[in-house]
Amino acid sequence: MEVTETWYLLLSAALFTIGMIGFLIRRNPLIMFMCVELMLNAVNISFVAFSDVLDDLSGQSAVFFVLVVAAAEVVIGLSLVVMLYRRKSKVSVDDLAELRG
């Protein structure tokens, strides 16, 4: 059986959906954070797949941008999570609703 681009796209869609659902239903900030990363990398897979199909390198270079931005985001996001754990031992994001309207 030959592996075509459809497989990659299906993998990408599956990973994205898993990340999205995880983000929506979990309460733990660290897990939600990982879900966001999952979604970003799902998109990266589809970028690479299309880059191969269209024989265009710009898709792969876009992936590098995503990686760089994700790395920066991880730094800030993780430090926020650590700060949260310092204040409360057991954290649910629903507790962080101080900015409720």
Partner 1 sequence: MLELSWLIPASPLLGFVLLVVFGKRLGEPVAGWVATIFSFISFIATVFVFFGLKSLPTEERFHIEKLFNWIDSGSFSVDAGLLVDPLSVTMCLFVTGVGTLIHLYSIGYMHGDANFSKFFVYLNLFIASMLLLVLGDNLLITFLGWEGVGACSYLLISFWFEDKDNASAGKKAFVTNRVGDFGFMIATFLVFTSIGSINYDDIAADASTISGVTATAIVMLFVLAATGKSAQLPLFVWLPDAMAGPTPVSALIHAATMVTSGVFLLIRLNPLLAEADLWATGMISWIGAITAFVAATAAVSQNDIKKVLAYSTVSQLGYLFMAVGVGGYVAAIFHMITHAFFKALLFLGAGSVIHGMHHEQDMRKMGGLRPLMPITGFTFIIGWLAIAGVPPFSGFWSKDEILLYLWNADAVGGKYLWVIGLVTALLTAFYMTRQVLMTFFGEQNFETTGDHAVKPHESPKLMTIPLMILSGLAVVAGLLNLPLKNMHYLADWIEPSLFGNEVHLDTPNSTKWILALVAIAVGLTAIALAGSVYYKKRFNKVEPQFFADAWSIDSSYARFFGGPGRLVFDALSWFDRTVIDGLVKGVGKVSVVAGQSLRPLQTGYIRSYGLSIVIGTLAVAGWFIWRLFS
Binding track, positions 20-39, relative to partner 1; x by CB under 8 A: x--xxx------x-------
Question: Sign of torsion, CA 10 15 18 24?
Answer: negative
Region near partner 1 per CB under 8 A, out of 17-25, 40-48, 61-69, 73-81: 17-25
* Burial degree of 44 (CB within 10 A; 0-12, 13-18, 19+): buried
- Report d(CA 66, CA 99) in Å as an integer: 29
Q: Treating both helix axes as pointing N-terminal to C-terminal, what angle do 58-87 and 29-54 enclose, rounded to 10 degrees? A: 180
Binding track, positions 39-78, relative to partner 1; x by CB under 8 A: ----------------------------------------
**Residue from 57, 71, 76, 99 in contact with partner 1 (CB under 8 A):** 99
- φ/ψ (deg, to 5) at 3: -85, 110
**Residue from 53, 68, 82, 93 in contact with partner 1 (CB under 8 A):** 93
Nearer to partner 1, 60 or 81 (CB): 81
List interacting residues with partner 1 (CB under 8 A): 20, 23-25, 32, 93-94, 96-101
